[in-house]
Amino acid sequence: MSRKDSFSKRNGFNEIHEAPIMVRNDAPYEFRGILVDLAYEFGFKPASLRDLVCRQLRTRADQNNWSEYPNIDNEVRGLIDDCSWFKVYDILEMKAANKAIRANKTPETQAAALVALGFTEAQAAEAIKPDFAFSLSNNNANMTRMKGRIAELEKRSQRDDVEKAGDGFTYRYREPRKTA
């Protein structure tokens, strides 16, 4: 027996019993809560889940909520609880697409994973297109880092070599140049 087997699988309660459809065109309250819990189980943090939910619902995040628990978590749950039932399923699809993209490293495998989820090839290509805003902000960070490195190297190049001899040893190092 594998330790990962659930109680129901270990005890043979895995049969599917046909039940009449009780709910159509709805996302029950309990389902909405479980959706958030499952997102956390699959590695989402409240802040990243809020970004995804706000993007899907086309709403702004509450900037006064900065702590993950309970503030952002409560905000996410409130947004999902208050949205239209079909938007809940849009969020679910978006989470699955996000997971598929993160799990695959190359654009080809990312697109294939999205197509397997039901996206068209055009939708998959659009979803994996690079985000140029991120690229620009990353370039800015790289430029700042490189400017700092150049300044450090220039400072090092202005140092004089110093050599001190002692009893049986010679010590060499670079001493900073004195500026007037």
Beta carbons within 8 Å of 100's beta carbon, 6+ residues apart: 110, 113, 114, 116, 117
Q: Evaluate if residue 131 carries a pLDDT over 50.
A: yes
Residue 59's pLDDT is what?
A: 93
Q: Do 103 and 148 fall into the same domain? A: no
**What are the structure tokens assigned to 98, written together?**
């996000």
β pairing state of 160-166 and 169-175: antiparallel
Residue type present at position 21: I
Q: Do 113 and 163 fall into the same domain? A: no
The full DSSP string for 42-69 is TT--HHHHHHHHHHHHT----TT--SII
For 69-112, how does the pLDDT look when each residue is reduced to its tens digit (9 = 90+)? 999 999 999 999 999 999 999 888 888 888 888 889 898 999 89
Residue 180's pLDDT is what?
A: 53
Q: Choose between 131 and 100: higher pLDDT.
A: 100
Task: Please list the alpha-helical segments (H only) found in 42-159.
Answer: 46-57, 73-82, 85-103, 107-116, 121-127, 132-157
Summarize the confidence of residues 53-76 as an average pLDDT: 92
Cα-only R_g, the chain: 28
Q: Which residue has the tokens 């009893």?
A: 167
Residue 76's pLDDT is what?
A: 95
Q: Give Cα separations from 129 to 56, 98, 124 (angstroms).
A: 18, 13, 9
If one counts the domains in the chain, the total is 2
Lowest mean pLDDT among 55-59, 61-65, 140-144, 159-163: 159-163
Q: Do 78 and 42 fall into the same domain? A: yes
Domain that holds residue 82: 22-129
Residue 140's pLDDT is what?
A: 74
Q: Do 30 and 89 fall into the same domain? A: yes
Q: Evaluate if residue 130 carries a pLDDT over 90.
A: no
**CA–centroid distance for 20 within its chain:** 38
> Is 121 domain-assigned?
yes
Q: Do 147 and 63 fall into the same domain? A: no
> Is 14 domain-assigned?
no
Residue 12's pLDDT is what?
A: 75
Residue 141's pLDDT is what?
A: 77
**Contact predicate 124/114, CB 8 Å:** yes
